[in-house]
Amino acid sequence: MMAVSLLVMLSACKTLPVPEGAVPVKPFDQERYLGKWYEVARFDFKFEKNLNNTTANYSVNEDGSIKVVNRGFNYVKGQWKESIGKAKFVNDATEARLKVSFFGPFYGGYNVIALDPDYQYALISGSSLEYLWILSRTPSIPDDVKESYLKVARELGFETENLIWVEHTK
């Protein structure tokens, strides 16, 4: 019975959903997406609780997966926190639908649902309406991009009033 439960759970990790109505960017250019991104806004959750100055850095591992290095400053504890994980494409590398893991075989959804043509700003959703991020190559984004991404998110059902706007002071 336990083996069956484990198989069901692991197979679910391979078919992570995309929030209803959200469409991962396609075509997607992995090489242009790699590098450092600043987290401009996010829904709060326990792994990023009390963090500011948060960034994500993406590079390619030897096995072809994407190395994910998330970093932020815990302003309550007064120390930096870093998490290293890996991401894999759910379908193929031309669709911005990935699964990311920081804990062994357990994956969460990572869907780029809006991306400017120059790969400077991105709107990311998880597998549900509980996870949303706005990323930028710089610590802030222009107001028109911000409003555009907020509009997209609201139309999909995200409660954008719950976004935390990340401070970048370090």
Domain spans of the chain, in order of start: 2-165
Asked if the 2-165 domain carries CATH number 3.20.20.70, the reply is no
Report residue 76: phi and psi, to 5°. Answer: -80, -45
Q: Please tell me which residue, 6 or 86, carries the higher pLDDT value.
A: 86
Q: Render pLDDT for 55-80 as a digit per residue (tens, 0 to 9).
A: 999 999 999 999 999 999 999 999 99
In 3D space, the residue among 170, 131, 163 whose CA is nearest the CA of residue 146 turns out to be: 163
Distance CA 165, CA 170 (A): 15
pLDDT score for 15: 66
Residue 119: Cβ within 10 Å count: 17
Tokens read off for 28: 């997607």
pTM of the model: 0.89
Q: How confident is the model at residue 11 (pLDDT cuts 50, 70, 90)?
A: very low
**What percentage of the chain has pLDDT greater than the value 70?**
91
113 contacts 22 by C-beta, under 8 angstroms = yes
Q: Render pLDDT for 89-135 as a digit per residue (tens, 0 to 9).
A: 999 999 999 999 998 888 999 999 999 999 999 999 999 999 999 99
Report residue 169: phi and psi, to 5°. Answer: -120, -5
Q: What is the mean pLDDT of the chain?
A: 91
Q: How far is CA 40 from CA 3, 15, 36, 96, 107, in A?
A: 41, 28, 13, 19, 23
6 pLDDT exceeds 60?
Answer: no
Q: Render pLDDT for 76-88 as a digit per residue (tens, 0 to 9).
A: 999 999 999 999 9
